[in-house]
């Protein structure tokens, strides 16, 4: 039963891996396996048997999720872009209570974090609407503001994953 549950979590993690801007790590946090997953990967050879029993269904499910949902998510992103992105914004926002609970267990949650959350939420929503207005029509007329903005957000995303 645990194998099936981890396999289903892996399918969701794999489907998150193919989404632009969504990290599989977000789904790992939602399912509460992020720390155990990192520990199993980093200390794989210390307890190979148990780590393999934990990682195998997640990796199998992740592979199935990538293959199974690749075309479905591609279709949804092109046919229903706002609705599809809104679903994932809701999934991420829905994981906030669990994140706050985990933070409170380790250290006191500071109210200033709400400012950064609301700022990130506002920027994310603005980017969805900005995406429709700043289009790249051809390679000759590239909108450099759009490219700079994309580069900035990619660097912020990568810097936040290092912290």
Shortest CA distance to 61 belongs to which of 101, 4, 110?
4
Same domain, 31 and 91: yes
Same domain, 116 and 161: yes
Domain end point (choices 90, 108, 126): 108
Residue 139's pLDDT is: 53
| Side-chain-side CA neighbours of residue 30 (13 Å) | 19
**87 & 158 share domain:** no
- Domain of 18 in residue numbering reads as 1-108
Examine the pLDDT at 159 and tell me if it is beyond 50: no
pLDDT for res 158: 47
Closest CA to 26 of 161, 152, 125: 161
The pLDDT tens digits of the residues spanning 108-158 come to 667 777 787 788 778 877 877 777 666 555 555 556 676 677 777 666 654
Measure the CA–CA gap between 92 and 133, rounded to whole angstroms: 25
Which of 108, 136, 155 is the endpoint of a domain?
A: 108
pLDDT in tens, 72-107: 888 888 898 888 878 877 777 776 777 777 777 767
Q: Are residues 94 and 135 in the same domain?
A: no
* Residues 145 and 158 placed together within one structural domain of the fold: yes
Mean pLDDT of 2-17: 88
- Please indicate, yes or no, whether residues 121 and 162 belong to a single structural domain of this protein: yes
Say if residue 124 is in the same domain as residue 138: yes
Band (161; pLDDT cuts 50, 70, 90) = very low
């Amino acid at each position: 039963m645990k194998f099936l549950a981890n396999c289903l979590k892996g399918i969701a993690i794999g489907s998150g891996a193919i989404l632009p801007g969504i990290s599989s790590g977000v789904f790992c946090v939602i399912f509460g396996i992020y720390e155990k997953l990192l520990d199993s990967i980093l200390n794989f050879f210390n307890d190979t048997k148990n780590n393999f029993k934990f990682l195998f269904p997640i990796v199998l499910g992740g592979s199935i999720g990538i293959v199974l949902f690749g075309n479905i998510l591609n279709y949804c992103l092109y046919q229903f872009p706002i609705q599809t992105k809104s679903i994932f914004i809701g999934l991420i926002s829905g994981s906030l209570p669990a994140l706050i609970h985990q933070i409170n267990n380790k250290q006191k949650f500071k109210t200033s974090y709400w400012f950064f959350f609301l700022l990130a939420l506002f920027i994310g929503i603005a980017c969805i609407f900005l995406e429709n207005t700043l289009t790249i029509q051809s390679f000759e007329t590239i909108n450099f503001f759009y490219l700079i903005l994309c580069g900035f957000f990619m660097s912020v995303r990568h810097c936040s994953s290092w912290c």
